Amino acid sequence: SAVISQKPSRDICQRGTSLTIQCQVDSQVTMMFWYRQQPGQSLTLIATANQGSEATYESGFVIDKFPISRPNLTFSTLTVSNMSPEDSSIYLCSSIDLGGRAPNEQFFGPGTRLTVL
Amino acid sequence: AQSVTQPDIHITVSEGASLELRCNYSYGATPYLFWYVQSPGQGLQLLLKYFSGDTLVQGIKGFEAEFKRSQSSFNLRKPSVHWSDAAEYFCAVGARSNYQLIWGAGTKLIIKP
C-alpha cells in the first residue's frame, strides 16, 4: 500500500492568513483526495486533486477558499485561504492504491491539525 | 439516498471483553465496504474491507467483520479488546463504479481497565 506523508503535522494560525498543506505519496497514484474532519465529526470530502487539471470540488467547497495543486502523480497541496476559527479542523490527504482491487480503497496520510485563532 | 449509519457514538468495553461495532448502510447495490480506525492524533488506517466472496472478512489487529446482505450491515467484531484498541472507528461504503466513499459518523471506543 502507498505510504503518505503530510506537512505540517499541526499548526496554529491567525485569522485572515493562509496555510498550505503538503501531501507526498511514496508511489505514483491515480487519484488523490483532500478531506476535512471537524472536531468530533466524520470525514467530509473537500475535493479530488487531478493531475494536470483543476481539482474537482464537492458541494460547499470552492477553489478560492481551498485552492489545490497536483503537479505530478505523487504530490499535492491544499491551501486554506483567509482562515477563520471555523476552519479549525484536521485536514487529511488520501490516495487510491493502484494495487487495490477496489477503485475506492483509500489510504490516508497522518493528517494536519489546524487551529485558527 | 445513500447513507451509512453507525448508531453508537460511544461504546465502553472492559479490557478483555468482546466487541461489536455496528454499521448499516443504504445503497442501491452491493457496495464495497470498509472499516477504518483512527487512533488519537493519527490519520486513518484501513482495518479490513469486503469486495465479494466470503462474507466474513478478517482484518488487521485481530478484527473481523461480517457482511449481511439481508440486513444491509457490516458489523465489526473483536473477541477480546486491548487497551490499545481505544480509538475512533469509521465504517465506509463505496460504489463499484467510482471512487467516492460514503462515511459513517464514527464510533468512539473507550476501554475500561
Q: Check if the beta carbon of residue B1 is closer than 8 Å to that of residue B68.
A: no
Mean of the pLDDT values across residues A15-36?
94
Mean of the pLDDT values across residues B27-49?
90
**The pLDDT of residue A86:** 96
Instruction: Round to whole Å and give the CA distance between B27 and A44.
Output: 19
**The pLDDT of residue B97:** 72
Q: Which of A33, A79, A37 is nearest to B43 (CA)?
A: A37
Share of chain B above pLDDT 90, in %: 79
Average the pLDDT over each of A76-85, A97-106, B37-46, B82-91 and give the range with the smallest value.
A97-106
Structure-block grid coordinates of residue A70: 497536483
CA nearest to B39 within chain A: A110
Query: Which site among A36, A45, A106, A115 would you substitute to test the B interface, given the most B Cβ atoms closer than 10 Å to its Cβ?
Result: A106
**The pLDDT of residue A99:** 65
**The pLDDT of residue A98:** 62
Instruction: Round to whole Å and give the CA distance between B113 and B25.
Output: 32
Q: How confident is the model at residue A97 (pLDDT cuts 50, 70, 90)?
A: confident
Mean of the pLDDT values across residues B8-31?
93
- Chain A residues closer than 8 Å to B100 by CB: 45, 104
CA B60 to chain A, closest CA, distance in angstroms equals: 14
Q: How confident is the model at residue B42 (pLDDT cuts 50, 70, 90)?
A: confident
Q: Do A41 and B32 touch (CB under 8 A)?
A: no
- Chain B residues closer than 8 Å to A108 by CB: 36, 43-45
Q: How confident is the model at residue A49 (pLDDT cuts 50, 70, 90)?
A: very high
Is the pLDDT at B67 greater than 80? The verdict is yes
CA nearest to A1 within chain B: B46
